[in-house]
Amino acid sequence: MHIRDLSTLALIIDAAAFDSNLATMASALPGAALRPHVKAHKCTSLAAAQAGIGHRSFTCATPREVVGMAAAGLGTDLLLANETIDPTRLTVLAAAQDLAAITIAVDSVETLAAARTAGIRRVLIDVNVGLPRCGCAPADAGRLADQARTAGIEVRGVMGYEGHLMMVADRAEKQAKVDAAMALLLAAHADVGGEIVSAGGTGTYDLHTVGTDAVTEIQAGSYALMDTQYSTLGLPFAPACFVVGTIISVGSKHAVADVGLKSLGMDHGNPALAVRTSLNDEGTPADVWFCSDEHITFGTSAGVSVGGRVFVTPAHIDPTMAMHDTAWVGRGDEVVDRWPIDLRGW
C-alpha cells in the first residue's frame, strides 16, 4: 500500500528517521545504559525494535504498560517508574512477576506498604531531585530502603527524574543544574545501595556520565519519534512521527484538514503542518491558525486544494501516541508495516 492510499487521519512513523534515531541513541548509550521509556510510544512493536538494537530493560509509567510489555515477551527488566497504591493494579503487577522481572518505584511508607501487601518483590527508591512531582526527599531514601529490606523486598537502587531541566536552553547552565540534581541522587544512592541509579530523559541524555559511581542508566523515550518541542533543542534526532490528514475544505485565506486535537497532544501547544504527500518530499510548511476537535485550520498557500494531503508534526509525542490505536510504518512512498498501539490505558 502507498501512503497516499491511507484513509485519514492516520498516524505514520517514518521508518528511516526512526531507524536513524535508534542508531544514534544506541551509539551514545548502548545496551543497558539506556532504559527506553515506553510511555513515549505505548507500542510493543516499537519497543521490540529498541530491544533489537540492544536495549533490553524498559521504563514504564503505568501498570498497563508493564503488564503489556511482559505479555509481549519484553520483560527482561521492567521498571514502573511511578507510584501506585491501587491494590487491584498492584495485584496484577505482582502476578506478572512470574512472567517478567518487574521493579516498581516507591517514595513513601504508604506506597511501600501497598507494594508489600500485593506481594511485589523488587522496588527502587524514587528520589525528588528538584521536579515538584513524585519522589521522597533525598535524606529519607535510605530509611525507606531499610524498611523495604526489613519487609523482605529487594531494593535495586534509586531513580530521580530531573524533568524540570529538560527544556533549559543554555547548555552550560543545564549541565550545572543536571550535575546538582544528580549529586542529590547519588547522595541518596549512597544511603540506599543497589546496582541501579536511573535518571534522565531525551532533553538531558548527553549530560550524564553513565557508569560506576554515577548514573547507571538513562530513561529517555521521546528520542525515538520526537516532536516539535524537543526539536527546538538541536538534538541529533529527527521528527519521525506525523499525523497524515486530507484537506477537506479550502477558503480564500485558509484551508482545513481532517486532523483535529483529538488526535494530537495539545499540552505543548499547536502542532506544525506541511502540505506534503509522502515521506520522500519535504513539503511546504503552512501556518497553523488553530485546532478544533476534528479539524486543523491553516493559512493557504499555492497548490492547496481539496483532497491534498498534509503531514502534521505533534508538539508532544507521548499523549499523541496515546490517542491512536494504530501506527502505520512508512518508508518513502510505501506503507511497510502496521503497529498496534497496544499499551494504551491505565
DSSP 132: S
Q: Other C-beta atoms within 10 Å of 173: how many?
A: 11
Only segment of 66-74, 175-183, 234-242, 260-268 that touches a copy of itself (CB under 8 A)? 260-268
Going through the chain in order, the beta strands assigned E by DSSP cover 10-14, 57-60, 77-80, 102-106, 122-126, 154-160, 196-199, 217-218, 241-250, 254-257, 272-275, 284-286, 288-291, 296-299, 309-313, 326-331, 334-340
**In the complex, least distance from residue 19 CB atom to a copy of itself, rounded to whole angstroms:** 25
CA-to-CA distance for 38 and 270, rounded, in angstroms?
A: 24
What residues from 117 to 136 belong to the interface with a copy of itself (CB under 8 A)? 128, 132-135
179: which 3 cell numbers?
Answer: 550535575
Shortest Cβ 34–a copy of itself spacing (Å): 19
* Interacting residues with a copy of itself between 53 and 82 (CB under 8 A): 61-62, 82
- Considering only residues 296 to 315 of the shown chain, the ones binding a copy of itself according to CB under 8 A are 297, 305-307
Residues 160-199 touching a copy of itself, rule: CB under 8 A, are 163
CB of 109 to a copy of itself, least distance (A): 8
Task: List the one residue from 274, 283, 323, 334 that touches a copy of itself (CB under 8 A).
Answer: 323
Query: Among all chains, which residue has been given the C-alpha cell 485558509?
Result: 254
C-alpha cell at 206: 548527553
The label of the residue with cell 534509586 reads: 158
Asked whether 137 and 108 are in contact (CB, 8 A), the reply is no
Calpha distance 15→97 (Å, rounded): 33
Q: Which of 144, 145, 256, 327 binds a copy of itself (CB under 8 A)?
A: 256
Least separation in angstroms between residue 247's CB and a copy of itself is 9
Q: Which of 142, 265, 271, 330 binds a copy of itself (CB under 8 A)?
A: 265
Range 136-139 contact pairs with CB under 8 angstroms and sequence separation of 24 or more: 136/107, 136/108, 138/184, 138/185, 138/187, 138/188, 139/188
To which residue does cell 538494537 refer? 53
204 is a contact residue toward a copy of itself (CB under 8 A): no
> 53 vs 322, which CB is nearer to a copy of itself?
322
Question: CA–CA distance from 104 to each of 2, 185, 229, 299 (Å)?
Answer: 42, 17, 29, 48
**CA 155-86-98 angle, 5° bins:** 55
Q: Is 258 in the site for a copy of itself (CB under 8 A)?
A: yes
Q: Using CB under 8 A as the criterion, what x/- string covers residues 83-112 for binding a copy of itself? A: xxxx-xx-----------------xx-xx-
Does residue 322 touch a copy of itself according to CB under 8 A? yes
* 12 binding a copy of itself? (CB under 8 A): no
Q: Does 287 bind a copy of itself (CB under 8 A)?
A: no
Question: Closest approach of Cβ 196 to a copy of itself, in Å?
Answer: 20
Helices 63-71 and 44-52: crossing angle in degrees, nearest 10, is 60
User: Applying CB under 8 A, does 346 fall inside the site for a copy of itself?
Assistant: yes
Residue ranges that bind a copy of itself, judged by CB under 8 A: 7-9, 39, 61-62, 82-86, 88-89, 107-108, 110-111, 128, 132-135, 163, 246, 248-251, 253-254, 256, 258, 261-263, 265-267, 289, 291-295, 297, 305-307, 318-319, 322-323, 325, 345-346
